[in-house]
Amino acid sequence: MNVHVTPEPNMYRYDEFDRNFVDARVAQFRDQVARRLDGTITEDEFKPMRLMNGLYHQLHAYMLRVAVPYGTMSSRQLNVLADIADKYDRGYGHWTTRQNIQYNWIKLEETADILDRLASVEMHAIQTSGNCIRNTTTDAYAGAAADELADPRPVCELIRQWSSLHPEFSYLPRKFKIAVTGSPNDRAAVRVHDIGLRMHLNEKGERGWEVLVGGGQGRTPMVAVTVRDWLAEADLLPYLTAVMRVYNLIGRRDNKYKARIKILVHEMGAEAFSAAVEKEFAEAPKETIEVDARELARITSYFAPPAWESLAAFVPEIEEKKLADRGFRQWLAANTAAHKVPGYTIVNASFKPTGGIPGDATSGQMRAVAKLADEYSFGEVRVTHAQNLTMPHVRTKDLIEVWDKLKELGLAEANIGLIGDIISCPGLDYCALATARSIPVAQEISTRFADIKKQHDVGPLKLNISGCINACGHHHVGHIGILGVDKKGKEFYQITLGGSSAENASIGKILGPGFGADDIAGAVETVVDTYLAVREQGEEFLHTYRRLGAAPFKEALYAGN
């Protein structure tokens, strides 16, 4: 019998301080729950405490949002997430658009036990809610992508350590989200975050960061503006501190809908905002928070590449299989990505089965992916912001085996980046804020486009659905976006076109009057058919829309009305 030894993945590590702190926080929350249950504190008093520990109350029950730091986790951690789903929830969890996991059916009295279990594998739910700096997100392919300049995760970890319970930034005007990319091809949506960081290299090969501020979605979607083209890495934390300080001091607190930093940047103007940040940056003492090269080197060492083998990039049996098997060819084209090391490939497990619930994962699927990661990807797994899982380091020669195993698990739908890979918030089926359901719309659309060949013929197309204006389903940046609203007690759906969260980010524009629940999937089909009719050779949906505008789509949808 073979004994599989799971190598410890290359990722963050808690030191003694982190461990003690998280343990203390669990004990503190256990006491807070006890006091809530014995009536010492009211729900109004308890609510901010539970939110600081990621515990919401949603439509049906308590919901716990667990942070997956920049989407990176080990197979060991994924197994614990599966155990939690079984023991404390109803056997499943939901990958979120910020690379976290949510559990929908949590009991208050059991929450501290869950947090204890998470702490045992260096995880927690701190700052997954509330007006603080949330879990930093990044490229799910970080440390593996062929097109990245360098692994952005050491900087993500630096930001995580800096922002965790930062005393000055724990009571911001509103929540605050930071995204980081180390690749020019933005898979982290940095332009629609409060702060986006893009890595650049100068002529000496030194790393620096472009700082973008004021992006976001929600009810007032905006694309971030660049306030610094180049920031030396050593200045990163002092500069972020300056941005946060300007926001914290003059960001609005009188109206929660105008309290995000994007509103401040918009109202001040990018130039004035940038000047305020530069002034703060120039005047504030930096010695205590500038990035010490030794400290960054220490953190970077945690993310040292795994023990890659020296392998041939060209694997004849893979090429033969590609020619012989269309299903494998489609899967390879859509669900894998180029790795920076020859002989390795990035593999995505699609959690978007035809007619399924986008992003829902059963405990069995979690354990199975953890096992696959152990066998084929150095025990590493990533959560993507498109609600899938990634195994970043799979040997190319193992791809047929991995494909076969993913097929058995129902995780090999060859639809990553295609219309079947729908991003969807939980919507009114779970969320207390939602005004319409999202999931049934996603299910119907994915069923209509069940033919994978058609999906591949349509080509890259991001379809995102939100069940309310808060836009957790990222509808503003979907090439096709759908927003569910309540219209006199009935669900109604608006279509937006032309959004993008990539390096060429844009906010989608409303196409016209909305559609009822029975008609929205058909309307999307009409939009796609119109694109197929008017596109030029090899032209992707977004490019066709940008070339022609909304006119042909409006004509197709509304001309008869």
Partner 1 sequence: MNDVTEDCSEYVVTANEVLSGDTVFRTPDEKWVRGIDDAAVLKCEDTGFVALGEAQKDEHANIVMGAYLVEVSRESGAVRPVHIRERIRALGPTVRADLAQVAQGFSTSEVVDQ
Q: Applying CB under 8 A, which residues contact partner 1?
A: 36-39, 43, 57, 59-62, 90, 105-109, 357, 428-430, 434-435, 437, 439-440, 443, 486, 489-491
Q: Which is nearer to partner 1, 39 or 285 (CB)?
A: 39
| Residue that is written with structure tokens 């190319």 in the block | 396
Which residue, 95 or 176, is less far from partner 1 as judged by CB? 95
SS3 522: helix
The alpha carbon dihedral of 442, 443, 448, 454 has a sign of positive
CB neighbourhood size of 37 (10 A):
12
Nearer to partner 1 by Cβ, of 278 and 429: the residue is 429
Closest approach, Cβ 422 to partner 1, in A, equals: 13
CA 381 from centre of chain: 14
- Least separation, in Å, of the C-beta of 431 and partner 1? 10
Least CB distance from residue 370 to partner 1, whole Å? 24
Beta strands in 176-304 (DSSP E): 178-181, 195-201, 207-213, 225-232
Closer to partner 1 by Cβ: residue 60 or 87: 60
Work out how close the CB of 91 gets to partner 1 at its nearest, in angstroms, rounded to a whole number: 10
Instruction: State the Cα–Cα distance between residues 527 and 522, nearest whole angstrom.
Output: 9
Give the shortest CB-67-to-partner 1 separation in angstroms: 21
- Quote the least distance from Cβ 421 to partner 1, whole Å: 18
In 137-177, DSSP assigns E strands to: 137-138
Alpha-carbon distance 207 to 153, whole Å?
14
Q: Compute CA 437 distance to the chain's CA centroid, rounded to the nearest angstrom.
A: 21
385 DSSP 8-state letter = T
Judged by CB, which is closer to partner 1: 94, or 262?
94
Q: Is 110 exposed, middle or buried (0-12, 13-18, 19+ CB in 10 A)?
A: middle
Q: Residue 215 and residue 212: Cα distance in Å, rounded?
A: 8
Q: Do 41 and 351 form a contact (C-beta atoms < 8 A)?
A: no
Give the residue from 28, 53, 34, 33 showing the smallest Cα distance to 118: 53
CB of 109 or CB of 408, closer to partner 1: 109
Looking at beta carbons only, is 106 or 213 nearer to partner 1?
106
Residue 58 beta carbon to partner 1: minimum distance, rounded to whole angstroms: 8
Q: Which two tokens stand for residue 205?
A: 């090969």
Query: What are the strands, taking DSSP E only, across 214-274?
Result: 225-232
Count of CB atoms situated within 10 Å of the CB of 488: 5
Q: How far is the CB of 297 from partner 1 (least distance, A)?
A: 45
Q: How far is the CB of 522 from partner 1 (least distance, A)?
A: 18
Give the nearer residue to partner 1 in terms of CB position, either 164 or 435.
435
- Residue pointed to by tokens 């957790």: 472
Spatial separation of the C-alpha atoms in residues 450 and 419, rounded to whole Å? 10
* Nearest approach, Cβ of residue 517 and partner 1 (Å): 9
CB-nearer residue toward partner 1: 60 or 326: 60
Instruction: Please identify, using beta-carbon distances, which residue of 38 and 287 lies nearer to partner 1.
Output: 38
| Chain position carrying tokens 């524009």 | 509
Residue with tokens 């912001």: 385
- Whole-number Å distance between alpha carbons of 164 and 496: 36
